Structure 1
Amino acid sequence: MQQPPMKIALHYEMEVDPRSYTEYDIWHNVLEQIVAGERAGFWGAFSVEHHFNPGYSHVPAPEILLAAASQRTKTIRLGTAVRLLPLNDPIHTAESFASIDILSNGRLEFGVGRGVSEVEFEIWKQPSPYGETAAANKELFLEYCDLVRKCWTEENVTFHGKYYQVTSPVTIVPKPLQKPAPRMWASTTSRTSQEQNLGRGMHMLTGTILGGFENITGDTASAREVWKKFGHDRREALEVGCMVPLFCAKTTREAMVMVRPHHAYYIEQLCRFFAPRDPEERRKRLAAIPPGRKPYWEQPPSWEQALSERMIIVGSPDDCIRQIREYERAGITLILGLMQMGGIAHDKVMRSIELMGREVIPHLAKG
């Protein structure tokens, strides 16, 4: 089955840089941007879920953002990238997101992940994806994935898992509008997780924000092998979404000057958030770093490194088209573009969205 055509979506961390705007501003600005994105021809709009991270991410409940966006839009897909399944009751999750699928007239894209912040797991007393609890975190995540889908597709649900039990049959309502269920995506970073996530029919989410572009082609090739191995290619082609900062301006220089300081702030916040606290996890990551390079939590990627390693898509419309085509050739089918990053002004983001709609997205649609 052929690789699906490239699609562009907006992606939100919901940062609050106090030098630029408030929490109130970011929520209302993002809703305006999603409406503008639909008008400009963006395929989707996605939100993360994070907790206890002032500055970096102020969206603990993406379902609320998506519900609000669903009432302001008609066609743009609305998704999570990602819902932190281990931190949320799976039945409540199934109910909430089925409701969003109904409110949006069947536009939900449901992305899930295991989580990264150790603080979040400490507060909710769930196994983190690091150290001695890593295996339990993965088991719990996969169990919850199975239960959410079961809630969406079956009546009289029972479930006898290691971490969650439904002993008396219950029917979860409402059911999503999309049948048999909304498309699921999963954050996928290794061959093992490809087997587990893609094997279940979930599409793939990855990113180049910290890891760069280098390994994308190999990852997408192995992902398509796994997809075919489980027979999913007979039903539909694998979609691979990639989270990456994205900004378009009239000229290359204008885009670079406009974005550089905001990208620096974003990367600083991101590295603070992702820095491993678990000693074993820290040692494991240090062992994988090439000689002569410092870990990102000690030395965040510079602007020059972000450009040279293709951690960002930035420039004029022609620049953005060329860079997006590179991602497409590497097997990516969906760019989740982080345009509202690091305190960049709302009006600049709106102009960038409009420019993408006029001069980039129509060109991509031509193939």
Structure 2
Amino acid sequence: MKFQLAVNMERIDDSYDMKDVARHTLEMVQIAEEGGFDIVWAAEHHALEMTIAPNPFQLLTWWSHETSTIRLGTAVATAAYWHPINLAGEAAFVDLISGGRLEFGIGSGAYQREFDRMRPGLKQSDAWRYMQEMLPAVRALWRGDYAHDGEYWSFPTSTSVPKPVQPEVPVWVAARSPITYDYAVREKCNVNCWPLTRPFAEAELYMRQLNEAIAKADNGWSPRFALMRHACLYDNDADRQEALNAIRRLLSQFENLFRNTGDVVNGFPKAIPLDELEGREQYDPAMLEENLMFGSPDTAIRKLKDYQALGVNEFIYYASMGLSHEAQQRSLRMFVKEVMPEFREAR
């Protein structure tokens, strides 16, 4: 099994200085590289302190100068916020400056709040159309001169400057719905998925959708398939409680964003009081501890083997969840030391 890290510059409140946030994020990337992680992913979000990533390519360029082997991915560049020429050039520059380490992840975007600011009038539910037009244009620009006349973008003959170092940049699509799985396999992309806090059955659903898409495409393409879960390892009750408190607080802020309540002050989404959420399945501590990559190293190994038996052979360790910097690093080091060797020996 291969392991990947998703980590954000994040602030849940203003108790951390931004310089400390940046330092911690880089240290997490370096711990992952030293521990043998394959890829580290940077997101794209705007005007939100909980994910400080206005341009994922800036983050990857920064990390590329402080690492040497770990591959560098966008998870994801939000297609509707970019122009194809701009996106192709930014991505290719990262590939150049990193020595050919780019993993290009593209997706539709998450929050209507962001679309209201970045692409006013566009519904998040329609943004997949932009992604499906964007990707072929970017790939064509990487190859050379290309003119585009589409539904959302039109431009005369142009090209990506610079060009990627890699002859074929690996492309990843964030997929949840059957239409996106079909598109990813048809376009010969790899797939990453995020079951949020849903149970193992959600991963089974995504695997079925992937297999159905492969059969439908019948083009010889077998994508890499990576599954992401929030992750925190602990070996005592105090650390367990810290992890559960952190993820519940974070999820209450996500709830605010998904509802698009507008209750965001200076970049910080207000947490919906947990007493308003009691009894709702997605916030139940026992459910969260079971469904997420939470628990002891032995518990994590058991869960990963269940995913491996399902056919998931790449796991994305999602570190950012409002935990203290010390707890995040302690958990990641524990994962590297006590979990990953089990899967190295099994390869």
Q: Same fold (TM over 0.5)?
A: yes
Shift of 1:276: 5.3
- Unmatched 5+ residue regions in structure 1? 1-5, 278-293
Rounded to whole Å, the distance in 1 between the matches of 2:108 and 2:277 is 22
Residue 208 of structure 1 and its aligned partner are, at CA, apart by 2.2
Contact 2:70 2:101 survives alignment (8 Å): yes
Taking every aligned residue pair, what percent have the same amino acid on both sides? 25
CA distance in 2, matches of 1:76, 1:338: 16
Deviation at 1:329, TM superposition (A): 2.2
Matched, 1:301 2:280: no
- 1:217–1:331 CA contact under 8 A, matched in 2: no
Which stretches of structure 1, 4 residues or longer, exceed 4 Å deviation after superposition?
none
1:300 CA drift (Å):
5.0
Say whether the 8 Å CA contact 2:106–2:172 is kept in structure 1: yes
Distance 1:87 1:19, change over 3 A: closer
Aligned AA (2:199): G
Match of 2:159 among 171, 174, 180: 171
Match for residue 301 of structure 2?
321
Residue 87 of structure 1 and its aligned partner are, at CA, apart by: 0.9
SS in 2 for 1:214: helix
Corresponding residue to 2:330 among 351, 355, 360: 351
In structure 2, the residue corresponding to 1:173 is in which secondary structure?
Answer: coil
1:178 corresponds to which letter in structure 2? Q
Structure 2: how far apart are the matches of 1:359 and 1:247? 13
In the other structure, the counterpart of 1:25 is 20
SS at match of 2:76: strand
Query: Which moved further from structure 2: 114-123 or 32-41?
Result: 114-123
CA–CA separation in structure 2 for the residues paired with 1:356 and 1:184 = 27
2:111 corresponds to which of 110, 114, 117: 117
Give 2:207's match in structure 1, choosing from 204, 208, 220: 220
Deviations 1:131-150 (CA, angstroms, capped at 9, x unpaired): xxx44x33222111111111
Determine if the alignment matches structure 1 residue 193 to structure 2 residue 175: no
Task: Give the unaligned 5+ runs of structure 2.
Answer: 262-275
1:267-300 deviation line (CA, Å, top 9, x unaligned): 12222222257xxxxxxxxxxxxxxxx999x875
Query: Over the residues paired in the alignment, what is the CA RMSD in angstroms?
Result: 2.4
- Residue range with higher mean Cα deviation, 256-265 or 183-192: 256-265
Aligned partners of 1:129, 1:295: CA distance in 2, in Å? 27
> How many angstroms apart in 1 are the aligned matches of 2:36 and 2:15?
28
> Bigger relative contact order, structure 1 or 2, given CA contacts below 8 A and separation 6+?
1
Amino acid paired to 2:147? T
Q: 1:40–1:353: 8 Å Cα contact kept in structure 2? A: no
- Structure 1 residues 125 and 349 mapped into 2: Cα distance closer, same or farther (>3 Å)? closer
- Distance in 1, Cα, partners of 2:318 & 2:240: 15
Q: Note closer, same or farther for the CA distance 1:170–1:109 as it changes in structure 2 (3 Å cut).
A: same
Q: Do 1:209 and 1:244's aligned partners in 2 also have CA atoms closer than 8 Å?
A: yes
Give the 5 Å matches for 1:225-264: 225-232=212-219, 234=220, 237-249=222-234, 251=235, 253=237, 255-264=239-248
> Contact 1:50–1:60 at 8 Å: present in 2 too?
yes
Q: Determine the structure 2 residue equivalent to 1:282.
A: none
Once residues 306 and 127 of structure 1 are traced to their aligned partners in structure 2, the CA distance between those partners, rounded to angstroms, is: 35
Pairwise CA distance, 1:50:
0.9
Partners of 2:182 and 2:259 in 1: CA distance: 27
1:11-33 superposed Cα distances (whole Å, 9 cap, x missing partner): 12432023652332222211111
- TM-score normalised by the chain length of structure 2: 0.88
Secondary structure of 1:268's aligned partner? helix
For the 8 Å contact 1:53–1:273, the answer to whether it is kept is: no
Deviations 1:281-325 (A, max 9, x none): xxxxxxxxxxxxx999x87522222134x1x11122211111111
Matching residue of 1:289 = none
Q: Which residue in the other structure is 1:14 paired with? A: 9
* Number of residue pairs the alignment of both structures matches: 332
Residues 118 and 222 (structure 1), Cα distance of their counterparts in 2 relative to 1, 3 Å cut: closer
Which of 79, 82, 105 matches 1:85? 79
8 Å Cα contact 1:9/1:45 also seen in 2: yes
CA distance in 1, matches of 2:23, 2:122: 33
Q: Deviations over 1:198-249 (max 9, x none)?
A: 21112212112233322211321331332244245x35x3212222111123
Residues 51-130 of structure 1 mapped to structure 2, 5 A cutoff: 51-54=46-49, 56-125=50-119, 128-130=122-124
Distance change (3 Å), C-alpha of 1:363 and 1:129: farther
CA–CA separation in structure 2 for the residues paired with 1:333 and 1:129: 34
d(CA) in 1 for partners of 2:38, 2:46: 27
Structure-1 separation of matches of 2:72 and 2:318: 15
Matching residue within 275, 298, 309 for 2:259: 275
Change (3 A) 1:19 1:121: closer
SS of residue matched to 1:366: helix
Instruction: Give the counterpart of 2:321 among 335, 341, 350.
Output: 341
Which region of structure 1 is more displaced relative to structure 2, 299-308 or 31-40?
Answer: 299-308
- Using the TM superposition, give the Cα deviation of residue 351 of structure 1 relative to its aligned residue in structure 2, in angstroms: 2.3
User: Does 1:156 pair with 2:145?
Assistant: yes
State which of 250, 265, 270 in structure 1 corresponds to 2:249: 265
TM-aligned CA deviation for residue 125 of structure 1? 3.1
* TM-score, L = length of structure 1: 0.83
Q: Distance between the aligned counterparts of 1:329 and 1:118, measured in 2?
A: 36
